[in-house]
Structure 1
Amino acid sequence: MQISIMKIGVFGASIDTEEDITNKARKIGEEIAKAGNTIITGACKGIPLAAVEGAKAMGGYSIGFSGAYSREQHIAIMGTALELYDSLVLIPQEYKYKEMRKYCLKYRNVSSVAECDVAIIIGGRWGTINEFSIAYDMEKIIGILSHTGGATECIKLLIDFFQKKTDSQVIFDSDPVSLVNQVCQISKHSAISY
């Protein structure tokens, strides 16, 4: 089992997207693994799946936070293969709302972001905005892969509009390799300064 330097979450739309964006998500996953880091995703299709596939292709360690409460339910509703994840975190059986899929997805969002040292946002929709806002409130280091559409196009506007005080650091970059390098450097520097 690989010992990782940090845990990096990759968040984006769970739907098929343009080939160029999918390839960038794979490259993000590859770079996370090359640096010896663990990748965390919401264990779903689309951008998160592409990132996990990239990380696994490089021998990386992956943690999937599922919106399901059993492995069987994960396969049925999340639609990703169990073997992609070295660790699959499920919704607790005792969770009062475990039968309410939309609630479980938000439970997953909070839990997966909380587990990350760094969050990277690629494209995305409402769920990705939710993951970004959680990371921002939790004062995480956040990398935004610019020019990937969706949520990434409005995040700077949201930050400027709300002007919420936070120690979160948000980095915008359109190059997957550069973005991963930057967030890793900032995270290492932050860890040393504590």
Structure 2
Amino acid sequence: MVKKRQILVIGHNTSGCTPEHEKIAYDVGMEVAKSGSVLICGGLGGVMTAAAHGAKDGNGLTVGIIPQNDPAMANEFCDVVIPTGMGLARDFLNALSADGVIIIGGGSGTLSETTAAYMYKKPMVAIRNLGGSVEKFIDGFIDQRENVKIVGVDTPKEAVEKILELIAA
């Protein structure tokens, strides 16, 4: 049996998440499902809920890796809930569980997950012009090590196509 691709979608939690972020995240989730990949997210609100919702509506499998120890804290669109009880340290689990990462806006939590993925050289794409903590790194690197470039894209479909291309490379 061949392992399914696992794509982590990260971005704004409830705070800072706009209707535009939610629509884009939903569409990314739908595209992840269409690709036959598993959608991984932080399992909470905002971009995480919208992406998982889109993946569910696309008949995909969703995994929420939550910082709490109570699985009931996860959003209703998570098929598999992994309650870590680790707080923000779970950002490393999210990054390490992914074959590739799609970034949709986001604040400091998103930046934490991005840097974890960067340290482990995970392929990453970010949707441009959504603001957030990662915006200034799009089409570049986080630091002088140049571990992995954060590739900028403009649409949800392009995000999934590009991350699949980067994963296969």
What SS does structure 1 have at the residue aligned with 2:50? helix
CA distance in 2, matches of 1:24, 1:35: 16
Residue 71 of structure 1 and its aligned partner are, at CA, apart by 2.3
Aligned to 1:133: 115
Residue 140 of structure 1 and its aligned partner are, at CA, apart by 0.3
Aligned to 2:78: 85
Residue 148 of structure 1 and its aligned partner are, at CA, apart by 1.2
Residue 176 of structure 1 and its aligned partner are, at CA, apart by 1.0
CA distance in 2, matches of 1:46, 1:66: 14
CA distance in 1, matches of 2:38, 2:139: 30
Distance 1:4 1:37, change over 3 A: farther
Q: Which residue among 172, 179, 193 is the counterpart of 2:152?
A: 172
Instruction: Give the aligned residue type for 1:36.
Output: G
Gaps of 5+ in 2: none
Counterparts in 2 of 1:111-190, with a 5 A limit? 111-156=93-138, 159=141, 162-166=143-147, 168-188=148-168, 190=169
Residue 165 of structure 1 and its aligned partner are, at CA, apart by 3.5
Q: What do residues 80-125 of structure 1 show as CA deviations (whole Å, max 9, x unaligned)?
A: 22xx22211111xxxxxx4xxxxx3322211111100001111000
TM-score (norm 2): 0.90
Instruction: Give the aligned residue type for 1:184.
Output: L
Contact 1:47 1:122 in 2 (8 A): yes
Distance 1:157 1:59, change over 3 A: closer
Aligned to 2:11: 12
Residue 30 of structure 1 and its aligned partner are, at CA, apart by 0.4
Q: In angstroms, what is the RMSD of aligned CA positions? A: 2.0
CA distance in 2, matches of 1:139, 1:118: 9
Q: Number of residue pairs matched?
A: 167
Gaps of 5+ in 1: 92-97, 99-103
Instruction: Give the aligned residue type for 2:130.
Output: T
Is residue 36 from structure 1 mapped to residue 36 from structure 2 by the alignment?
yes
What SS does structure 2 have at the residue aligned with 1:151? coil
Residue 138 of structure 1 and its aligned partner are, at CA, apart by 0.5
Residue 169 of structure 1 and its aligned partner are, at CA, apart by 4.0
TM-score (norm 1): 0.79
Q: What do residues 134-171 of structure 1 show as CA deviations (whole Å, max 9, x unaligned)?
A: 011100000111111112322249836x32232x2421
CA distance in 1, matches of 2:54, 2:122: 23
Distance 1:118 1:50, change over 3 A: same
Percent of aligned positions that are identical: 23
Contact 2:96 2:117 in 1 (8 A): yes
